[in-house]
Every structure is written in C-alpha cells, then in structure tokens.
Chains A and B, each alone.
Chain A
Amino acid sequence: MSPTSVAGTRTHCPYCSLQCGMTLERVGRALEVQPWPEFPANEGALCRKGWTATGLHGHRERLTTPLVRDRATGALRAAGWDEALDLVAGGLRAVQEAHGRDAVAVFGGGGLTNEKAYQLGKLARVALRTSQVDYNGRWCMSSAASAGNQAFGIDRGLPFPLADVEQADVVVLVGSNLAETMPPAARHLDRLRERGGRVVVVDPRRTPTADRADVFVQPVPGTDLPIALGLLHLLDAAGAVDEEYVATRTTGYDAVRRSVAAWWPERVERVSGVPAAQLRELADLLAGSERVMVLTARGAEQHSQGTATVLAWIDVALALGMPGKVGAGYGCLTGQGNGQGGREHGQKADQLPGYRMIDDPAARAHVAGVWGVDPDSLPGPGRSAYELLDTLGTDDGARALLVLGSNLVVSAPNATHVTERLAALDLLVVADIVMSETAALADVVLPVTQWAEETGTMTNLEGRVVLREQAVAPPEGVRSDLEVMAGLSERLGSPVPFSTDPAEVFAELGRASAGGRADYAGITYDRIRAGHGVFWPCPDTDHPGTPRLFADAFATPDGRARFVAVDHVGAAEQPDAAYPLHLTTGRVLAQYQSGAQTRRVRDLPDDGPFVELHPLLAERIGARDGEPVVVTTRRGELKAPARVVTTIRPDTVFVPFHWVGANRLTNDALDPSSRMPEFKACSCAVRA
C-alpha cells in the first residue's frame, strides 16, 4: 500500500458526516480504497466501513433497470427508462389534477449530494409546485439545527474544524458514540488526552467512546437536559459564570439563572439517575478549565425535547464564556454524510437554498430570480418529515410520493404505521441503488448511480464543502439522480430546464445561496480540489471561506448569542407497569443507517439486530446471552438475541436500528420546534 498515492481519484467516504478523505484506485476491474493522509478530518485513517466502501461496486444486487409494478401480477417487472419516467410523470400529474398540487410529496435524504438536495427542492417547488418536500435529515440533527439558529443565529454543526478538539482542555460529548459511529474522529480525542485534556462522555451506555473518557456520566435516557440545568445551577452558585462574556457577548442570562435555581443537584439526581456528587465533580471540572467544548449528537437530540436539550447545553457553553474561543465552544456532531449540506439548500419543508426561509419574501424573490420563475409561483412551507409521512394517503395528505436517498421502512419512527401509510399511496416512486425495503414497496423503482460513479459535493460536519469525484463509469442502465430529475421535470412541463451536469448545478446552487446564511457563492470545484475543501460561508471567489465562526460576533441581528431558558418535561412516554423499562436505539460500528448499503457489503459483518441488557435485568427476566428475547412497546415487537453486558443501565435496553424492527418500537412523539421524533427514549417491556 502506498500511503501517498496520487495516481487515483481523491474522494470521500460514502457514509457518515466525517466525510473521511480517501483515494480510489483502479486495480484491474476492481476499485480499491487507499488513504489520503493529508485530509485533516481523518488524516488517512478509515474505519472498516470506509475501507470496504467499494464493496457495492459491481455488486450483484445492484439495480440496473427501472422496475414498474405490473397491474396483472402485482410484481415488479423490468421497464425502459422512457416507460418508467412517463409512468411516473403521468401518475404525478394525474394525482395533482385530481387532488391538488400538494397531493404529491417529495422525500429526500441527508446522504444526497448538495447538488441533488438542491435540485430536489427545486423540482418540488418549480416542476411540481408542491409545498410537500422534506427529508430524513429531519430525523438526524434537526434539534441541534433549531437550537443553533435560536442561540447563534446560524446552524453549522461545528463552527470550527474538528481538529480544534485537540486544543480543548475539556470536551463534553453528550449522546455521542463517535468511537463507533465515526471512528477516525476519536483520534482527535486521544491527542487531546495526550496533551493532558479531559474527555467527558454522557450516555446511558458505557460505549467504546466512554471507555476513552476520563469522566463517564450515565443518565436515564431522555435526561441530558436536567444534567445541563444542574450544571448551570452549580456554575452559577459557585460564581464560575464568565460574567464579562455574558455581559458583552450574550443576552438572556438572567432568565436562565433564575430558572436553574430550581435545579439543585439532588433534584437532578432524582430525575436523571446521575449521583449529585458526580454532577458536582463535573461542574468543578468545567469551572476550573480554560477551554471547554460541548459536543452533542443524536443521543441528546433525538427527543421530543431535543431542541431544549441542546439549548441547555449551549447555555452551559455560553455561561462558561466558550463559544468564539479557539479550542472551545459548542458544536453538533452531524450524523449523515451530507446532513449539513442537505439541510441548507432547499429540501427542507420550510427552506430555500442558502438556508433561506421560504416564508421570507426577499428570500423567495432572490431564489425565484435565480430559477427564472415568478416568486408568487413558489409554494409556502410544507409538513415536516414525519408529519408528511403520517398523513400519506389521507384526505389531508399526499397521495403520491417520490423518494430519493432514504429507506423509510427501516429508518422512520413507528415504522409499522409509516409502512401502512406508504401502502395507502396511489403512487410510490423510489430511486435507489439496490432493492431497499422501501423500494420493494414501490410502484416504480428507478435505478440510480452511486458514490464513485458520479461527481458532487458534500458538506461535512465541520461545514467544510468537499468534492466526491467520479472514479468509475456507472453500470449500463442506471441514471444519475440529476438525470432522473431532469427527465421528470421535462415530462412535467417545467417552465425552466434542469441541468444534469453536477458542476453546472453547483454553480447555480452557489448563485441561489448567495447572500443567504449558508453562502456558497464563492465555492467552486476547482477551489475545493486545490485545498482540503472550503468552509462556508464563502460569499465570493476571493473569500478564503470561514473555518471558524463567532470569533467577533454571532450571526444574530445584534451580534450577541442568545441564552434560552428551558425546562425539563421528560420523554413523551415514561415507564409504567406494563412497559417498565427505557428503550434507546443507536448504531454499531460495522453498519450504517438503514443498512441498505452496508448490509450488502460482504466484508462487513452482519449479525442482525440484538438486544443489549444488563445482567441484573437479564436475571430478572430469565434471559441468557445469545438467546432470543422479545422487546415490546405500544407500537410493535422485536425478537432478537440478547447481549448481556454490564455497560448499560439496568433500567434500559438498547437495540441498533440498522435492521427492520427497531423502529417498529420507537415513538413518533415530535419535538415542538425541530419536529424531531423521539427515537432515543420510549418505554418497553422485555421477556425471555
């Protein structure tokens, strides 16, 4: 293996938001992953998902021809592209003519490139003129997005390069298992500890990430919020609040101070199951540290009070005077590959490109100008992801759905119900690379190009726009998502053309985003190629991009960050006699999201789902390691082998969500602000 190979194609991993740099080389007919040591986020490191990323290249399960459901047999049969696209366009039109424009909905994904996400939003607003467009990123980091907008006036997951972690004195990871979900990122933690810094992990499970921590806090699922309130209480009581920073760079602290007077440590202990003494130690550690960095992830965010939870942790960072300081502050560790960029360019129900709000007349005018349409022709805000799915096939909801880059049957909460809603549609169209569980339900399946067969940009968790270059030709018979959208827009009689060239689409995206909060106007493919990506905002080609935000001001009208006072309500569903345990869900190292890709990669172990539980609980119910147990909630049931481990709270069970089943259990209660479903906490029963 040559560590500094330049012969291949530089690109980025197809999976998580770290977007590890890698080089792809052709070796005969095979495509091999090689390191790209200079790319800063991962410095040549990759986890096994990255090393085996080419496992879907030339895979036998790859879809290479459009499929349409045969009326007579009810089975899918091969069809030509024209037939399939005519069928789709005709079906969408018929539904709109019968039931109105909003009867067609579009569902995207956080794994789509910026170009596709942008084009999908444009397809919805211009070609279909439906307000009903949203995406699975709503189930990823939307709570952190909502909190970031409220507190800082901007939503960029990390407002600093990831490597800044190494400069912190204390990093607090709230609900992040990055050692398993984005392993190369853990190297930054190790370097921090080599420098003498400390790592704090807050998680109901002692994960491999927690094994690297100096302080491990193990709360009841759904109680990260009161822990933050308790810390604020103690910091205030100890006089550890940075009063000068609070006075000059923030507003709203007084209300927070008064509200946390009610959150003394013993009350937090009662609610969260975290001993008061440990909370005091943690507060002392934070109070005595020069640079504190708080990072949240899905564990803190995927709750019906996810936004409030993130706001409370932002309050902690602000009270300590951290945001804006190098090696300190607050950040969200985005999950999906393009979780960041995917939410900036218009596939979100309430937004237009550049993170513009769709109900803002100036934003509508600008974007409509770039698109060459009348601003008044653009629809208004539509439903959020879960609400969109929840109403499918009802009088009020959409009757036709176009899905790109999402496997809803596996990844949606309360999945049995969502699957029923999909079945109630007049027309379900799914574009995918393999026959995912969702594609299998579709009336029309469109086979599309995958990573390495196409070019496009992603925006990683740092707000760094990176370029995935095409390395191989796609198989015969597939089309890119951009080609699919162009084909549909033409058939739908779109007033403006849709380009199929990624570079052209990116340039158009740049113009549409110009002047918006997420301004890409100055970013070009060549600039990305010349360096290691470009951080937005980057308003013009002379602008160097913005690796670090907030040094002098926040993105609010007055330049100050906002403290927001929040209170703890708790998970929507609390344990009771019938369902006495907490259920939480998450990922394992060797799989990714709904597993549509990784479960098909031969070199990645696929052991199926399992149920993690503590020996005390196992003994109570008579469960044995490796033998099946049944988890039930008010919504569904899952049978899977028990994994008896001492690393989980005895009142909590854990199930990974990469397989069908876990999300039949989860609760669809939504956060009032982000509309995030409560994936991470509901009540359940377990029997052997």
Chain B
Amino acid sequence: MTGPGTRERVVVVGAGMAAVRLAELLVAGGRHEVVLLGDEPHAPYNRILLSAVLEGTHDPAALAMRLPDGVDLRLGTRVVDVHRAEREVELADRSRVPYDRLVLATGSIPTLPPIRGLVRVDGRLDERVHAFRSLEDCRRLDAAVPGARRAVVVGGGLLGLQVARALAVRGLATEVVEGGEHLLRSQVGPAAGSVLARGLRRLGTNVYTGARAVRLVDEGPTCRLRLDNGHTLETDLVVLTAGGRPSTSLARRAGLEVRRGVVVDEHLRTSDERVSAIGDCAQRGDRTTGFVPPAWEQAGVLARHLRGEDATYDGSRVVARLRATDLDVAVLGDPTTAEGEVVEVTNPVVGSHRRLVVRGGRIVAGTLVGDLSRIGLITQHYDRGTVLGPTEPGHLLMPDRVTAAEPAVLPDDAEVCSCAGVSAGAVRACASLDEVRATTRATTGCGGCSDAVRQLLRTRTTQLEGTPR
C-alpha cells in the first residue's frame, strides 16, 4: 500500500465489460485512482449485444455502458509492454503509464481458421470476410448486409448461431458451417445439437456439420467457399465466428505465467502479485471463461481484494443463453462433462430437447433447447443449489399442469364471491340479481363475480322451468 492520503493507482489494460465493472466497483470504494486503457476507439459498450445490433433489434447507442465519474479512460490506446520492475506499462506511442496495481482485462481475440484464400496477398482479410468481435466489426458487417444476398457463417457455436440468425432475420440466405459433429459442441451433446440444427433448418438456415471450410475463392461479384466434404457454397459474405482464445501476448511478453490464459490464483493474482487478470484472458485452475457473469464475479472479487477485504474466486456457475430471434437455447454449466443422473425429454416433433444433470438432488448442469418455459425456475434452482425431491427434475421438464376445466355445475358450497364470501348455493337461493345484491351482497365488491352470478341465476331459471310441476 502507498502512504496514507494517497490513493493506489490501478491501471487496467482493456476497457471491455470486465474492466468497466471493476472500475465501477473501485470508484465506488473511493480508495483507488483508476485508469482504463482501451485499444478500441469507442467508449465502453456492451459487447454481448452486438449480434442484436446486427439483427436490428438494438439501437447501437443503447450499448454504451456507464462509467462512473473519476475514471481516467484513455481510448485508442494500445499497450505494447509491461515493465514490471519499474511498474509501468508502455504504450504504442512509447509513452509510459505508471501503476501501483496492474489489471489485465484484455479479453479474447478471434482465431482465424485455416482456410486458404482468407487472407489476401497484402496480409489483410479478403473484403468479403468478416470477423465479429468488436463494434467496428459489427459496423463493417452491418454495412455489407444491404449489398449481399447470401452469407456463410463459419462456426456453429453460440456466437455463430446468433450471427446466423441475425443475418437471416435481415433477409440473407444464410448457411452455417461447423467443423464438429454437431452445433454448440463445446456446450451441449449431439441430441441437443441435432434438435438445434433442425430448428435452424426450419427457419431456413442450412447447417453443415462435420465439415470444414478449406478454401475461399473470390470471383468478383461473388465468392465460393469450398468445404472438405465436397460441397462448395456460393456466398457474398463469410463471417468467422469459430473460436477465440484468451489474449495473452502482453502477459507472455511480460514474463507472467501463461498457459491457455493468464494464470491467476483465487485472488485473481498472476505470478506477479502486483498484476492481476480478469475476464476472458484469465485462467483459473484449468478453466478460462468466455462469459460476462463470471467476468463480473471476478471483477467483484478483485475489487474487494484490492480494498484489502478477504475475497476469493472459486469458479462460477455459468448459464449460457443464446440471444437470437426464434432460437431458444440455454446451457447451464457443462452438461457434456458434468457427472450425475440425467433426466431428459426430447421432442423432435416440436423441436425441443431438455436435459438436466442432477447430483445429490441438485441440478449441476442442463441443456434447454426449443422450450424455455420453465427457465425462470430451473436457473433459480441451479444458481441456488436447491436440493430437489426425487420427482421434481422430471416435473420441471413437463409443461405446466393444465388446470382442470371448472366443473360444469358448481357445488353449493363453492365460493362464488370472495369479496362478500358468498357461496353458489346462496346465489341459487335468490330469484334475481337484485335479490342477490340485497341479501348476499355478492357482486357489490370488486365486481369480478358478476358473470358467474348471472350464469348461476340463468341455470337456476332453466332448472326451474325444466322441472315438471
């Protein structure tokens, strides 16, 4: 810690969602000076909604995230080196920024699949080829949509499916190419993947699984993407969504321990105790995450740790949700590897597949495709570790019990008017609505029973008339 009266200076490399959250929490704590160094030219925005912007359901201006007053935000600033001994970071313009604590929140970078012809001779992507990671990528693709009729999305993961649906909603004939044997292969099993593929096809999007794109041939007005299964897809646009990896080059160059991501301990510290890492770039145990909620949880833990409080991160429960029109998917935890008993309902006719993995009565993982009607309860049970009864997981996958139709004839003791506490029998004992009102006061409160009372009076009349005298 620095001396009393001075605030510790926390420099965050990155201005994405994890960085913004951390800044918010540190500023609220009032004990830190916070500097955010973002390499994108835009003020912080909600990255996970980019596909909604592409789809047209989200105004791009609505993505801007709130950054509290007092944060020193420097945009378009690329950090090229960390000088740990001097506790400084070096920027592209060779200037240096000193820190007391450094936080790497560099996120992930898209990986380019090995497709010949993707990169032009000058080293840039073919102009028909798009990545989809940043607001800039989104704008560029958005601008290309009006001039295109067909699109191919390479990658059948969450992002790929969101982009594919967005392009289809925008009116493009869209195809998805997934190298694995089924869609969402890192999240769900083959059954869910195939239900999902059928759902997509029903929405008019072709899906090729177990197929790798190997070559792109640009032919002027259009281009052709050749797959290793012999198909060739003609298209106007190619969007690469196949995978990203933690952005670790800065950490690596700084000599910090890096495996898949920047290795951190339970306090989110790297191998240098003055340097932490959070979000997509960090690796805790053998896990990296690609989702916002765990990144925010890490930001919370780190903020408390930096304030000197005892806080540790031991991995988060993840609920991955696909955000795409007419494609309903939720994945709880890791249903492909979680151990436990499996309760599963698949209905290919309506395109739904739901699977819960239950251990010791607790839902430890789950897949919901095509039917999210009970998601509001299932995720609560999952997040809270509720111990369920033996029949509950099954019930959770059944539709809501249909309420039995009201009996044709209300028994005399059934309450008709709760405002006045009047039974069907008491109403039947009256000759007219006026009499009902005067003697029982039914219908004189909220008025909700008026129809029922009229109905009872009508049937009473019919019964009387039908009675032989």
Chain A interface (Cβ within 8 Å of chain B)? 1, 35, 44-48, 51, 179-180, 183-187, 190, 208, 211-212, 218-220, 233, 236-239, 255, 257-259, 261-262, 264-267, 269-270, 272-277, 565, 575-577, 580, 589-590, 605, 616, 619-621, 646, 649-651
Residues of the B chain whose Cβ atoms lie less than 8 Å from the Cβ of A45: 444-447
Among B388-406, those with CB < 8 Å from A are: 388-389, 391-392, 395, 401, 403
Find residues 362-399 in chain B having any chain A CB closer than 8 Å to their own CB.
372-373, 375-377, 379-381, 383-389, 391-392, 395
Partner of A651, one of B386, B389, B420: B386
Measured in the bound complex, the distance between the Cα atoms of B63 and A185 in whole Å is: 41
Q: How far is the CA of A212 from the CA of B403 in the complex (A)?
A: 16
B interface, over-half SS: loop
Question: Which of A270, A276, A646 has its CB near the most chain B CB atoms (within 10 A)?
Answer: A270
> Counting chain A CB atoms within 10 Å of each CB, which of B62, B67, B321, B447 scores highest?
B62
Shortest Cβ distance from residue A169 to the other chain B in the assembled complex, whole angstroms: 21
List, in ascending order, chain A residues with CB within 8 A of B49's CB: 237, 261, 264
Q: Which of B63, B321, B446 contacts A184 (CB 8 A)?
A: B446
Residues of A within 8 A of B447 (CB): 45, 184, 186-187, 190
Asked if A277 and B376 sit within 8 Å, CB to CB, the answer is no
A-B pairs with beta carbons under 8 Å apart, 30 shown? A1-B438, A46-B441, A48-B419, A48-B441, A179-B448, A183-B419, A183-B445, A185-B446, A186-B447, A187-B446, A208-B446, A236-B62, A237-B52, A237-B59, A239-B59, A257-B64, A259-B66, A261-B49, A261-B63, A262-B46, A267-B292, A269-B379, A273-B380, A276-B372, A277-B328, A575-B384, A577-B385, A580-B386, A619-B392, A620-B389
Measured between beta carbons, the chain B residues less than 8 angstroms from A239 are 59
B65 within 8 A of A: yes
Q: In the complex, what residue of chain A is closest to B320 when comparing beta carbons? A: A266
Known: A48-B419, A277-B372, A590-B421. A237 touches B62 (CB 8 A): yes
A182 nearest CB across to chain B (Å): 9
Is B381's CB under 8 angstroms from A255's CB? no
B70-113 vs A, CB cutoff 8 Å, 1 = contact: the mask equals 00000000000000000000000000000000000000000000
The reply on B293 being an interface residue by CB < 8 A is yes
Q: Do the beta carbons of B444 and A258 come within 8 Å of each other?
A: no
Known: A47-B446, A262-B65, A580-B384. A616 touches B59 (CB 8 A): no
In the assembled complex, how far is the CB of residue A45 from the closest CB belonging to chain B, in whole angstroms? 6
On chain B, the residues within 8 Å of A264 by CB distance are 46, 48-49, 323
Given A255-B66, A619-B389, the answer on whether A276 and B321 have CB atoms closer than 8 Å is: yes
Pick from B66, B384, B448: contact of A186, CB under 8 Å: B448
CB pair A261 B62 closer than 8 Å: yes
- Residues in chain A near residue B293, CB distance under 8 A: 267, 270
Could you tell me the distance in whole angstroms from the C-beta of A295 to the nearest C-beta in chain B? 16
Closest to B444 in A: A45
Residues of B near A277 (CB, < 8 A) are: 328, 372
Question: Are A619 and B391 neighbours in the complex by a CB distance under 8 Å?
Answer: yes
Contact in complex: B445, A270 (CB < 8 Å): no
**In whole angstroms, how far apart are the Cα atoms of A184 and B445 in the complex?**
5
Chain A CB within 8 A of B57 CB = yes
Q: B105: shortest Cβ distance to chain A, in Å? A: 16
Determine whether the beta carbon of A269 is less than 8 Å from that of B373: no
Closest to B385 in A: A577
Please measure, in the bound complex, the distance between the C-alpha atom of A565 and the C-alpha atom of B319, giving whole angstroms.
Answer: 27
B45: Cβ under 8 A from any A Cβ:
yes
Most buried by B among A220, A257, A266: A266
Residue B418 CB within 8 A of the other chain: yes
Complex Cα distance A212/B377, Å? 23
Q: What's the least CB distance linking B182 to chain A, in Å?
A: 23
* B448 partner residues in chain A, CB cutoff 8 A: 179, 183, 186, 190, 208, 211-212
Q: Compute how far the CA of A103 lies from the CA of B353 in the bound complex, rounded to whole angstroms.
A: 66
Say yes or no: B45 contacts A261, CB within 8 Å: yes
Task: Tell whether, in the assembled complex, residue B420 and residue A48 are in contact, meaning their CB atoms are under 8 Å apart.
Answer: yes
Q: Which residue of A lies closest to B296 (CB)?
A: A262
Shortest Cβ distance from B66 into A: residue: A258
**Does B458 touch A at the CB level, under 8 Å?**
no
| Contact A589 to B66, CB < 8 A, known contacts A264-B48, A270-B379 | no
B312: shortest Cβ distance to chain A, in Å? Answer: 18
Q: How many angstroms between the C-alpha atoms of A679 and B200 in the bound complex?
A: 47
Minimal beta-carbon separation of A647 from chain B (angstroms): 10
Contact flags B268-311 to A (C-beta < 8 A → 1, else 0): 00000000000000000000000011000000000000000000
Flag if B441 contacts A620 (CB, 8 Å): no
Q: Does B58 contact A (CB under 8 A)?
A: yes
| Residues from chain A with Cβ under 8 Å of B401 in the complex | 646
Q: Is the CB of A237 within 8 A of B376?
A: no
Which 5 residue pairs across A and B have the least CB separation, nearest first? A258-B66, A183-B446, A620-B389, A273-B376, A186-B446
If A276-B321, A616-B395 touch, does A580 touch B66 (CB 8 Å cutoff)?
A: no
Which chain A residue shows the least CB distance to B319? A270
| Most chain A CB within a 10 A radius of its CB, from B59, B381, B392, B421 | B421
Apart from A257-B62, A261-B64, A619-B391, list 17 A-B contacts with CB within 8 A: A35-B444, A46-B445, A47-B445, A183-B445, A208-B448, A237-B59, A261-B49, A261-B66, A264-B48, A266-B323, A270-B293, A270-B319, A273-B377, A565-B66, A616-B389, A646-B401, A651-B377
The answer to whether A580 touches B387 (Cβ under 8 A) is: yes
- B455 to chain A minimum Cβ distance, whole angstroms, is 17
Nearest opposing residue in chain A for B417, CB measure: A48
Whether A261 contacts B384 in the complex (CB less than 8 A), given A48-B419, A238-B59, comes out as no
CB distance from B225 to the nearest CB of A (A): 31
Which chain B residues lie closer than 8 Å to A186 at the CB level? 446-448
Interface centre among B292, B377, B391 (most CB of A within 10 A): B377
A650 to B381, CA, bound (A): 10
Q: Contacts of A590 on B, CB cut-off 8 Å? A: 421
- Measured in the bound complex, the distance between the Cα atoms of B432 and A529 in whole Å is 35
A220 to B67, CA, bound (A): 29
Query: B323 contacts which chain A residues (CB < 8 A)?
Result: 264-266
Q: Looking at the complex, which one of B46, B376, B392, B446 makes contact with A269 (CB distance below 8 Å)? A: B376
Partner of B392, one of A46, A272, A616, A649: A616
Which residues from chain B contact A274 at a C-beta distance below 8 Å? 376
Whether the pair A258, B59 counts as a contact (CB closer than 8 A) is: no
Complex alpha-carbon distance, A276 and B379, angstroms: 12
Inter-chain CA distance A605–B372, complex, in Å, is 41
- B378 (CB) vs chain A CBs: closest residue: A273
Least CB distance from A421 to B in Å reads: 32
In the complex, are the beta carbons of A261 and B446 less than 8 A apart?
A: no
A47 and B48 CA atoms in complex are apart in Å by 51
CB of B415, distance to nearest CB on chain A (Å) = 10
- Which residues does chain A contribute within 8 Å of B375, judged by CB atoms? 269, 275
Q: Which residues of B contact A273 (CB under 8 A)?
A: 376-377, 379-380
Measured between beta carbons, the chain A residues less than 8 angstroms from B321 are 266, 269-270, 276
